[in-house]
Amino acid sequence: MKLAFENTEIDMVLAELRRSGEPVSIEPRAFDLLCLLISNRDRLVTKDEIVAKIWDSRYISDAAISTCVKSVRKAIGDDGDQQRLIKTVRGRGFRFIGAVRESALEAALPAGPQTHSPHPEPPEEHGKPSIVVLPFEDYGSDHGQQLLAEAIPHELIQGLAKLRWLRVIARGTAFQFRGPNLDLASIGERLAVRYALTGTVLHFQDMMSVSVELAHCESGLVIWAERFEDRSDRFLAIRREMLEQIASSLEIYITQREASIAARSSTEKLDAWAEYHLGLRHLFLFTEANNTAAKSCFERAIEKDPEFARAHAGLSFGRFQDAFVGYSSDKAAAIEEARRFAERSVELDPLDPFANLNLGRSFWLSNDPALGLGWLERSISLSPNFAQGHYSRAFAEALQGRSGAALKHASAALDLSPLDPLLYAMHGVRALANLQAGELEAATGEAAAAVHAPRAHHLIYMIAAATHALADDLPAARQYALKARESGADTRTEHFFRAFPFVEPGFREEFKRGLTLAGFD
């Protein structure tokens, strides 16, 4: 639906605000608040309702609400003194009082002959990724279980809407498209979205199965698919785990797809988002050459959009790698820039989990992991399905000797993202945490898994060597030590402890003994 008042128009489907025909920049939460107020213009919208709908019932101060309302007023040409469009009812809430004109979208239901009017400008292959989550198809379930076919995609929409890098079509529009054999190309064109998530719910005897597919709308290509099965009486209990895995998988596979699109395009045609995703592809290959290429992509993204928070966070990640793995000869400069770019990222978008993660992780480089812990906790709070957030939290806990918390968050990271580019690091943290807990067999098993994961670097081989040496498996320890030296990196014990500043002196000395037994200087 399109709503208009004075010289302003809101496109509820495309999530766009225009004044006098020109796009108006508005923060997503402010846009959501405007839509809430204008959709309920026949009544007062209370502060409690605003907190429930806009902030998911989290504790929010009155000042935060007022700031958001101020942003809305600024975007639509109103102010707190005149209150020409938005009226404040002191102590209770707000009401939209402007005269509104409505224009409905053409019927979106897929039943019957299709007479779609093409979107005037088809979705670009670059720019912020977008997705529509469609209601699932239900087969063979009773009425109570049929609710899952809508409940699951509805909860996915709510969860995905928290991701700052993805534009998600609202439920009210998405759920207009129902039925089997939907024309995803037409839906994608109609809603100007690039991806669609579809699914089925199947009930048979005492079992239930949910299948999901992520497709590229224009080509119809299935990018990722998964099936979840369990007893019907247990399915609600595993619903949260299923939703977390779906959300985490979307982040991996959409990011990979976006990078592939960007890689096929000439550099001059790439926008900031495409440069960012191409940078991620290089970044997660974890080699010096790819790290250099990644930083160049992020720098070009910042040139094209100086206020692109995630590009600054990506550049922080690249400089972190320079310092942590030893790619840069000027480690002090790398540490300073990793912190500076992360701080700028959080300044631009304090609600981005990736930005918070990079700021928290930057404290590792200055041997202050405890100072960064709050930022890592915040990244998980902002996005509970953020696998890298859980991994980074696990790493910080391991450095401080908290083996239980480290194992908990490393396990969460592995559950959320079993194919993550940082898989070697997740197993590496689990190896360290098990070693701290005195579980030598588990530690060596995790260390072996770490070095056999793709892109494991010399520090991971050093963890495996020391762990196996402390477990009295010297042949394996020396083999892993040889692999570490073959990398050509600095494998001195002193260098290892600069990267892993363990807080507990006792564990540090024990690990040093393991490195010495494995043959490191």
The pLDDT value given to residue 112 = 35
Regarding whether 506 and 424 lie in a shared domain, the answer is yes
More confidently predicted of 373 and 460: 460
Q: Using CA atoms, how far apart are residues 460 and 427, in angstroms rounded to an integer?
A: 9
The pLDDT value given to residue 38 = 87
Q: What is the distance between the terminal CA atoms of the chain, rounded to a whole angstrom?
A: 69
Mean pLDDT of 467-491: 93
Residue ending a domain, choose from 198, 231, 249:
249
Mean pLDDT of 380-406: 88
Regarding whether 150 and 84 lie in a shared domain, the answer is no
Residue ending a domain, choose from 103, 122, 151:
103
The pLDDT value given to residue 12 = 64
More confidently predicted of 477 and 52: 477
Regarding whether 82 and 150 lie in a shared domain, the answer is no
What percentage of the chain reaches a pLDDT higher than 70?
A: 88
Contact 72, 30 (CB under 8 A): yes
Q: How confident is the model over 261-271, as pLDDT tens digits? A: 766 655 566 67
User: In the predicted model, is pLDDT for residue 120 greater than 50?
Assistant: no
Task: Give Dmax (Cα) for the chain.
Answer: 80
- β partners of residue 168: 131
Q: Is 345 within a domain?
A: no
Regarding whether 512 and 391 lie in a shared domain, the answer is yes
Question: Domain range for residue 35?
Answer: 2-103
Regarding whether 147 and 73 lie in a shared domain, the answer is no
Q: Using CA atoms, how far apart are residues 298 and 295, in angstroms rounded to an integer?
A: 5
Contact 188, 196 (CB under 8 A): yes
Q: How confident is the model over 51-71, as pLDDT tens digits? A: 877 776 666 777 778 888 998
The pLDDT value given to residue 57 = 63
Lookup result for tokens 């990644």: 294
The pLDDT value given to residue 43 = 85
pLDDT averaged over the chain?
Answer: 83
The pLDDT value given to residue 143 = 46
Regarding whether 81 and 143 lie in a shared domain, the answer is no
Regarding whether 169 and 94 lie in a shared domain, the answer is no
The pLDDT value given to residue 181 = 77
Q: Using CA atoms, how far apart are residues 109 and 124, in angstroms rounded to an integer?
A: 24
Regarding whether 398 and 507 lie in a shared domain, the answer is yes
User: In the predicted model, is pLDDT for residue 442 greater than 90?
Assistant: yes
Regarding whether 180 and 58 lie in a shared domain, the answer is no
Residue ending a domain, choose from 229, 249, 269:
249
Could you count the other beta carbons within 10 Å of the beta carbon of residue 68? 20
Reference 456, options 423, 485, 479; nearest CA is 423
Give the contacts of 488 (CB within 8 A, at least 6 positions apart).
none
In this structure, is the dihedral angle defined by the CA atoms of residues 488, 490, 493 and 495, taken in order, positive or negative? negative
Query: What letter would DSSP give residue 135?
Result: P
Instruction: Locate the DSSP E strands across 109-155.
Output: 130-133, 137-139
Token digits for 446?
Answer: 């995790």
What percentage of the chain reaches a pLDDT higher than 90?
A: 31
Regarding whether 510 and 397 lie in a shared domain, the answer is yes
Q: Is 99 within a domain?
A: yes
Q: Using CA atoms, how far apart are residues 205 and 499, in angstroms rounded to an integer?
A: 55
Contact 247, 269 (CB under 8 A): no
CA distance to 37, 53, 69, 89, per residue, from 95 (Å): 6, 15, 11, 8
Lookup result for tokens 């030590």: 481
Q: Is 390 within a domain?
A: yes
The pLDDT value given to residue 499 = 86
Regarding whether 170 and 85 lie in a shared domain, the answer is no
Q: Is 121 within a domain?
A: no
Mean pLDDT of 72-86: 89
Q: Is 283 within a domain?
A: no
Reference 215, options 179, 245, 186; nearest CA is 186
The pLDDT value given to residue 282 = 84
* Count of domains forming the chain: 3
CATH at 150: 3.40.50.10610
User: In the predicted model, is pLDDT for residue 500 greater than 70?
Assistant: yes
User: In the predicted model, is pLDDT for residue 180 greater than 80?
Assistant: no
Contact 130, 14 (CB under 8 A): no
Regarding whether 483 and 410 lie in a shared domain, the answer is yes
Q: Is 484 within a domain?
A: yes
Reference 273, options 301, 292, 234; nearest CA is 301
Q: Is 36 within a domain?
A: yes
Token digits for 225?
Answer: 């698919």
